[in-house]
Structures are given as structure tokens and as C-alpha cells.
Structure 1
Amino acid sequence: MGLSVFALVLFAISAVSGEKHVVCYYGSWATYRLGLGQFNVEHINTDLCTHLVYTFVGINNQGTVVSLDSWLDLPENWGRDNFGKFNALKKINPNLKTILAVGGWNEGSAKYSIMAANPALRKNFVTSALQMVLKHGFDGFDVDWEYPNRRDTVNGEADIDNFTMLLKELREAFNPHGLLITAALSADKTSASLSYDIPAISKYLDLIHLMTYDMYGSWNTETGHNAALHKGESFENVPKNNVLTVDVAVEYWLSQGAPPEKLVLGVPAYGRTFDLVNANVNGVRAPSSGAGISGPYTQQRGHIGYNEFCHFLRTQSWEVRYDEEAKVPYAVQGHNWVSFDNPSSITKKVEYALSLNLGGIMLWSIETDDFHGQCGEDFPMLRTINRVLRNKNVSESTSTPVPSNVTTEATTSASSSTESAAPTTTTEPPVTEIPEDSICKSEGFTSSPVDCSIFYLCVTGVNGELIPTLFKCPDGLHWDNTHKYCNFPDLVDC
């Protein structure tokens, strides 16, 4: 009898663990990235996600949900039919749920503020959303109007109740079809308190994807962690609730009545980069002059994918440090300062989510995980999430691979001085110093004969001559003339 009870307890524990969600956001625009950064639907590992979210569609001025890239999303006019390919993944994993997301950063707030305030436009939104989801075989709809009553809002505070009404009407339309309604929402109290009636929206949402990242970034005048789990170094004299951290955000949502089983903790597969004012003042909260390095694939200063940065750590000289209190790493190289997550810090966040019995983990976003396994196993972030959620051995891949010439240590002062290698900077040689006939042999891109970091686009002028235009790769990258894109130096024959 005792053995049977024990078996039932084990079954119950297993069942609870199995209910935890792994929500994977997929940025469809990654199909346009070059080289090893290109990520197509075919790259998705369906065993590592319980829910896949396709981003993004938008709305027009009538509130109608529309594709933002019809050639990529749809099959008509020789399109790539990403919607079809995405939902066909359920043939590989029948338990997978696919969700279509509307909105996002680029869509802003104005159109959604106008739509949500108008009953007729709301009806257009709900009806067209349902039609698109059913037509293409999605299992649900993700509402990423992230900024009610913020950014370029038109109706201000009225957005809060209008957002609730929008979700209520979506729920009424979606329920007969058994479809999911989810949302990616701002996590910190300052933003969330301006935008959401948390008890009200919680009634209509199946899952609430908390964007517990972008806590600090290049918009700040000092360095800070992108997604610190707890208050960390250099914040000793700052009250806990005045620091932007994962735990403070989650505690706020729970205190406002959000059901823990509906909260899905967001973790980032990317880092935030800063440009230090003084290379010798390089701890947390060190003065920053703005956005730092970019990656070769995402090519956005102030932001770098984990797949890009883990390769930098393996091939360049960086000092990697670990903030013991915040439970996240950061890295320094001259004037470059990067806050990032790795499998070790992700482990701590998943364990935290489990300790509060949250609904699961959301990853933004899978195309910047190390999906090719350049730094070790493929999809290390997603695999770590699954291992910890399923209570499996997590001894593998619990830290970012670091080359032997990189020092890993914890620091306690924003004024610590290091001997990090300064970033390599290259000045562009004047085009006039290079004979034109040595540059352009035919139209198209070609390498520089004098500098690995620059390249030229050769076009035919009005008189039939080939004219070179100079371009420069992001810092730390070389032109790959074989594949015609900027690449890591160790992968380029220069």
C-alpha cells in the first residue's frame, strides 16, 4: 500500500512538471539574415517547445489583421508560405501548439489605441484575427499590443479598459473554436501599472508572457543588466523595489492577482551592449555613452544575439564576470560592455520560476539561440530550459564556453580597473589611394585589397565604367568574399 502511494506521488510530481510550458517566439525576419545567422522555419526543433509563436502580423487603419510580409507569410504569388510551413511542424510533434502574434515594437501603439476605442474597429480586429488563425491552422493568437497608455498612444488612459474589452471580445469569439489567447506584456511595475488592469486581463488570457528583459540597455547613461534575477552589485544602497529585476517584476504581477499558473517567465537569448565612457571604469553602473557593439547577423548596435556573442567569447579576448547577487554574467573588453545570459543564468531563472509554480518559461527568441551549436550543443538555451523544467540532469552546457585567455571573476565595484584588450578599430583607407582597376573587376560586392574589414559594391556608371562604393563591416568582423557577408575573422580567408 505504501509503495502504491509513493508511486502516485511520483506520478503527481511528474504530471505537474509535464504541464510547464516552453513558449518559443520565432522572429520570422531572421530568414533574411546572412550566413549562419539565417533562421528558417526548417531550423525549428519541435521537441524543445510546447508553444511556438510566429511574429509578427499587424493591423491596417480599419483594425483588420494583415500580414506584414505577404511574400514570406503566404503562398499566393509564389510566396514562401511560412504560415503553412510553421503549422506543418505539428505533423512532427502533434502536441505542439502554434500561435500567431500581432503587434510588437515596430507596430507601436497608435493604431491599436484607435482600434480598441472603436467598437466597429474592434469587431474588425476580432473577426479578421479569427479568420486568419483558422484559415492557416494556428492554435491561438498572441496580442502584442505592449504599450496601452504609453509610447504613441492616442487615447491615453482609456487604453487600459479598452485593452481589457478587446481581450474579452477575442475570448468570446475564440472560445467556440477552442483557441488560445496569449499576450506578451511589459513586466516591470512602472510600465505595467500604466498599461494593464491585471486582474481583468488575467480572466481572458490563457498565458501571460512576461517580458522580463530589457531592464537596462543602451538608452541608460550607465551600464546595467539586461535581465538580472535579483538586485546585484553596485545597487547595495538602492531599495529593492527601485531596481529593475526579474524577481521584483514577478512579485508585482503576483501581488496584483495574476494567477501564477498563467505567468510565463520571459528569458532573453540575446544581450545588451554598451560603450563605456572610461575603459577603466567598467563594473555595473559604470558611465556609458550609448550603444555598444553589434553582431554580424542581427547588425543592431546595443543588441547582440547569444549565438553571436558566445562566438566572440570563444575567439576574442574578453573578461567575463559573474554578478553573484544578480545571478547573471557580464563581459568587458576595452570600451565594450555586454550584459548577457548563458545556460547557467537561465538555469537560475527556471529554478526561480519553478519555486513560485509559474506556468513555464518563454524564450525571446529562438533564432538568436546558438541553433547551429557553434559554441557547443545546438539550442543550448532551449535545452537548458527543458532540462531544468523536466528535472533532468543539467550538468551539461551550464556555462558559456570561454577560451583560456579570458578571465572569469566576480567584481564588487563599478570603478574596478582591468587590463582588458581594447576593441580593434579600423579607419577606412581613402578610396583614392587604391587604383580603381584593382578593386572592381565586375559588378557586385568585392573585398578590399588592403583591409579585411572593408568591402566594395561595384556598379556600372553612366559611361560604362565600374564605380566602387566603400562599406565597412561592424567592429570585430571581416568581409567574407566567398559568401558575400561580414563574418567572424576566424571563418574568413583574408
Structure 2
Amino acid sequence: MGFCKMKKLIIFVLGVVLVTTEQIAAQEKNVVCYYGTWAAYRNGLGKFEVKNINSELCTHIVYTFLGIKRSGTVVSLDPYLDYPENWGRDTLRKFNALKEQNPNVRTLLAVGGWNEGSAKYSVMAATLKLRKNFITSAIEIIKKYGFDGLDLNWEYPNRGDSVYGEDDIDNFTQLLKELRKAFDKNGLLLTAAVSSVKSVASLSYDIPAISQYLDLINVMAYDLNGATDVVTGHNSPLHRGEGDKHVAKDDLKTIDAVLEYWLQQGCPPEKLILGLPLYGHTFKLSNATNNGVRAPSDGPGISGPYTATRGMIGYNELCMKFRRESWKIKYDNSAKVPYAVQGNNWISYDDAQSLTAKVKYALQLNISGIMLWSIDTDDFLGSCGDDYPLTRAVNIALGRSVETATGKPTTSNPTNEFVCEDTGFFPNPEECSSYYHCMRNAGGDLVANMLHCPGNLHWDQENQYCNYPDQANCNV
């Protein structure tokens, strides 16, 4: 073979290898979807059951939460919801039946959560006998219902109502070590949800040690500023934002700071999962005329009709609110996230553009993927357009191929055909079943994304939602 032919062959092979490597890298990125099972009790369009889960949008789906007894034994916190006995809803079984639809998805059982507190876990992790009770009972439930592993949500070692304080740090590591040994014998995954920023994570974890035993580490990079704060703040800012110019680097509550801390502390990027929110925080402004970031706040603001919790609101609730009411949408060009103002009401939230910017930033650090809390607060029914718009945006940013419920591909890039003059929703001048959402991208520029109405519905510009054709008044 001549030199030129050999050179062309080498270039061709290298090209194939590079393309294949890029495809594999995209396929390997994880989307860990948490499901808050209590959403099954929500009213109206907020009710979310296992049947509402689109398993194609996730590589892992996490069932939350089970708890533990004082003996360390894993126990249901809602037997009626979890089990079939006494006319129960049998949700544990139904959840794992999702693998019949998508054999590639992995299911994880989450134990713990905020409401469980720290005390019982502090006591359990402190003694060999109680750790053994926990491990044995966890494996029993996991195998009985067909889960692929455990997601440990101890919130948090050495914090809150912890019993053993700093001893929790080493005890947590020891618990994971023993879990790893037992899980390897049973071919099970072991993951954990952990706090994010340095000021709190440094109190709870020996990061190099726990990284040895966990398959995935879900860093909860949200609630970085909360509705109980005395000033407004972003739920999950990417970078230092408006009002943060004088905050010391070690005190920053931003995603870039979170990722830098965990990676510098020895968390392998191939195990690190960045947790992002599908909900917002609401504040009540002290003064409606002072409505920027870090404006004085009188505490938690409005609640949504389904989540019914002051200080927080699901994206599915928020998108409808923006359609039916007059809100001023603002964008923090530094933090790369939007916020909304209406009189004394102030909301920090994420949209498809801000989530995409975070994913793109995280991918530069070659982390393992993204975790979402929680899919039941995405617009899962497509009330505002395509179903699961935020979850789909994350998938697209990770390079995963997804389709809408109608089989139409989700538009991931701005269209060049429709020119936005302002933010908001606008009709498609060419046909009735789609419309445009004008939003600001990560650079603050207005871009138009085409969205499709589900089923045979038409876009209703007057009411700002997809409606029946005879009521939508579309005359295209």
C-alpha cells in the first residue's frame, strides 16, 4: 500500500474512532431522575403517578423515600402507597415494571430524605449491628421488588439533629464500605445524594473516602439560596451573580464553585453527578420597588396550586402562572439564570436555557451526568407545550436523542425564521399546532424555540395555552 493511501486510511480510521468516541461519551452521560412519590396525592393536573414517568428520558430513576426504624431496619414511610396489601397502590412494584418498557433504565431505592432527619442515621451508622440491620433489610427490599440498587439520602452527617456529631463523618464512610462489599456480592448499584457547597459539605464528608465506595455521587446543587433568607437569591446560580461581587470565593453558593470544590477534594469526575432543580423558590419582597437580586425579603412567597408549599413552586405550576398573569421576566447575565417579578412577588427559577447553560458548563469538566429534582414538577403533561420541556432540554444538552409525546423531535436550537421582539409565547404564523417561546439564552440574547401542542390541540394565543381547535381561534 502506498504512503498516500496509508495516510488516508489512518485519517479515516482516526475519524471513525473520534466520532465513535464522541457518540459513546454522549451515550454514557447519565440522567438521574428523582421521583417524589407523594406527588401521587396532588390534585388536578399536578397529580403524578408512576404511569406519568417517561423512562426514556432517564438513565436512572430514583424512588423516594423509604426510611429506617431505630433498629436500623429499612421501612416504608407510606405502606398504603408502597405496598399492595389492604388495597394499597402497590407503587414499588409498578415503579420497577417501568423496566418492561425500557430495559435500559436503572431503578434505585432512595432511603432517607429531609423529613427523616439525621438522628436515626447517626445512631445506625455508629454500630456494627445496626449497620448490618440496615444493609440486610435494604438488600431484601431491593431484591424483592427488582431495584438495581440503593440511593442513600442521609441529610446530613454531622448536621441537624445528629447524635454523634463529627463521628458521623467516619461512620458514614464505614457504612458505605460495608454496603459496597455486600452490594458487590449481589451486583447492586450504590449511590448517594450529598450536600453541595463547601461550607456545608466539608462538615459531612470525607470526599476521597466515600468516593471509593459509591458508583455515582449526586451533588444537590440547588436550594443554594432559600425563601427563608432575608434577601432574595437564586435557587441554583451557575456563576457569581448580581449582588455577589464582594462574596469571598470560599463562601460562593454557585454551581461552578460546587463543582470546583468536589473535584478538588478528590471526587472522580466519572462518578460526579450535578443535581439541578425543576422548581423555583418564591419570596415576598419587603419593597416592591426594590426587586433585584439580593433585595430585602419578608420571607417565603406564593405557593403553587399543586405543591401547595409557600416558598417553592414547580415549573409546571410556574409556566401556567406566567401565561395567565402579568409577570416581568428578568435575566441575571452573570449568574446565567432568570427570575420573575410581580409586585411584591419574586421568583427564582430555571428554564430550558439556564439548564442548558449549566449542563454545557458541567460537560467541560467531564462529569458523569445530571441529576434532576424532581421530574414530578416538570411540565410532565405538556400543559404549556411539549411535555417534560426541562428534562428534555437536559437530555438534548447531554447529547441524548429524545422525542416529544407526539413523536415530533424536540427543537434544541433557536429557529432563524421567527424573530423575537420580546420574551413570551407567540403564535406560529404558518400553522396552528405549534408556537414560539421567546426567551433569553445564556448570553442574554432573545431566541425563539418552536414548541408543539400535544395531540390535535391548537395554540390559543389569547389564553396562552394549547386548546381545542374550536376554541383556539387560530385562523392560519
Q: Look up the match of 2:432.
A: none
2:146 equivalent to 1:154: no
- CA distance change for structure 1 residues 129 and 408 in 2, over 3 Å: closer, same or farther? closer
| Identical columns (%) | 58
- 1:36 Cα deviation after fit: 0.1
**What code does the residue aligned with 1:312 have?**
K
- Please give the alpha-carbon distance, in whole angstroms, between the structure 2 residues aligned to 1:490 and 1:41: 24
2:226 equivalent to 1:237: no
Q: Look up the match of 1:402.
A: 424
- Please give the alpha-carbon distance, in whole angstroms, between the structure 2 residues aligned to 1:253 and 1:260: 9
- 1:235 Cα deviation after fit: 1.4
- C-alpha contact (below 8 Å) 1:21/1:51 kept by paired residues: yes
- 1:10 Cα deviation after fit: 0.3
1:405-434 CA distance string (max 9 Å, x none): x99899xxxxxxxxxxxxxxxxxxxxxxxx
- C-alpha contact (below 8 Å) 1:57/1:103 kept by paired residues: yes
**What code does the residue aligned with 1:165 have?**
Q
Where 2:380 maps in the other structure, the secondary structure is: coil
1:287 to 296, 300, 314: 296
Where 1:47 maps in the other structure, the secondary structure is: helix
- Please give the alpha-carbon distance, in whole angstroms, between the structure 2 residues aligned to 1:308 and 1:341: 13
2:230 equivalent to 1:221: yes
- 1:79 Cα deviation after fit: 1.5
Q: Look up the match of 2:132.
A: 123
- 1:242 Cα deviation after fit: 2.1
- Please give the alpha-carbon distance, in whole angstroms, between the structure 1 residues aligned to 2:158 and 2:273: 23
**What code does the residue aligned with 1:138 have?**
F
- Please give the alpha-carbon distance, in whole angstroms, between the structure 1 residues aligned to 2:255 and 2:205: 18
Q: Look up the match of 1:72.
A: 81
2:118 equivalent to 1:109: yes
Where 2:266 maps in the other structure, the secondary structure is: coil
- 1:76 Cα deviation after fit: 2.0
Where 1:281 maps in the other structure, the secondary structure is: coil
- CA distance change for structure 1 residues 407 and 168 in 2, over 3 Å: closer, same or farther? closer
- C-alpha contact (below 8 Å) 1:320/1:408 kept by paired residues: no
- 1:118 Cα deviation after fit: 1.5
2:353 equivalent to 1:344: yes
2:288 equivalent to 1:270: no
Q: Look up the match of 1:169.
A: 178
- 1:490 Cα deviation after fit: 12
- Please give the alpha-carbon distance, in whole angstroms, between the structure 1 residues aligned to 2:222 and 2:379: 19
- Please give the alpha-carbon distance, in whole angstroms, between the structure 2 residues aligned to 1:235 and 1:169: 42
- 1:4 Cα deviation after fit: 2.4
2:388 equivalent to 1:370: no
- C-alpha contact (below 8 Å) 2:199/2:251 kept by paired residues: no
- C-alpha contact (below 8 Å) 1:320/1:409 kept by paired residues: no
- C-alpha contact (below 8 Å) 1:319/1:408 kept by paired residues: no
1:223-256 CA distance string (max 9 Å, x none): 0000000001121232333221111011000010
Q: Look up the match of 1:426.
A: none
Runs of 5+ in structure 1 lacking a partner? 411-487
1:17 to 13, 19, 26: 26
- Please give the alpha-carbon distance, in whole angstroms, between the structure 2 residues aligned to 1:383 and 1:409: 18
- C-alpha contact (below 8 Å) 1:321/1:408 kept by paired residues: no
- Please give the alpha-carbon distance, in whole angstroms, between the structure 2 residues aligned to 1:217 and 1:328: 15
- 1:402 Cα deviation after fit: 2.5
- Please give the alpha-carbon distance, in whole angstroms, between the structure 2 residues aligned to 1:107 and 1:396: 44
1:83-138 CA distance string (max 9 Å, x none): 11110100111111000000000000000011111211111001000111011100
2:337 equivalent to 1:328: yes
**TM-score (ref. length: structure 2):** 0.84
1:345-393 CA distance string (max 9 Å, x none): 0000110111100000000000000001111110001111111111766
- Please give the alpha-carbon distance, in whole angstroms, between the structure 1 residues aligned to 2:465 and 2:354: 28
Where 1:261 maps in the other structure, the secondary structure is: coil
Q: Look up the match of 2:69.
A: 60
- 1:401 Cα deviation after fit: 7.5
- C-alpha contact (below 8 Å) 1:211/1:267 kept by paired residues: yes
2:392 equivalent to 1:383: yes
Where 2:276 maps in the other structure, the secondary structure is: strand
- Please give the alpha-carbon distance, in whole angstroms, between the structure 1 residues aligned to 2:109 and 2:72: 16
RMSD: 2.2
1:272-302 CA distance string (max 9 Å, x none): 0000000000000000010000000000000
- 1:220 Cα deviation after fit: 0.8
Where 2:273 maps in the other structure, the secondary structure is: strand
1:206-236 CA distance string (max 9 Å, x none): 0000100000011210000000000011212
- 1:80 Cα deviation after fit: 1.1
- C-alpha contact (below 8 Å) 2:423/2:438 kept by paired residues: no
- CA distance change for structure 1 residues 372 and 153 in 2, over 3 Å: closer, same or farther? same
Where 1:260 maps in the other structure, the secondary structure is: coil
- C-alpha contact (below 8 Å) 1:231/1:240 kept by paired residues: no
- C-alpha contact (below 8 Å) 2:384/2:465 kept by paired residues: no
2:51 to 42, 47, 51: 42
- Please give the alpha-carbon distance, in whole angstroms, between the structure 2 residues aligned to 1:76 and 1:205: 34
Where 2:367 maps in the other structure, the secondary structure is: coil
- C-alpha contact (below 8 Å) 2:27/2:400 kept by paired residues: no
Where 1:225 maps in the other structure, the secondary structure is: coil
- C-alpha contact (below 8 Å) 2:423/2:440 kept by paired residues: no
- CA distance change for structure 1 residues 36 and 42 in 2, over 3 Å: closer, same or farther? same
**What code does the residue aligned with 1:284 have?**
V
- 1:5 Cα deviation after fit: 2.0
* Number of equivalenced pairs: 412
1:276-329 CA distance string (max 9 Å, x none): 000000000000010000000000000000000111111101000000110000
- C-alpha contact (below 8 Å) 1:314/1:401 kept by paired residues: no
2:218 to 199, 203, 209: 209
Where 2:94 maps in the other structure, the secondary structure is: helix
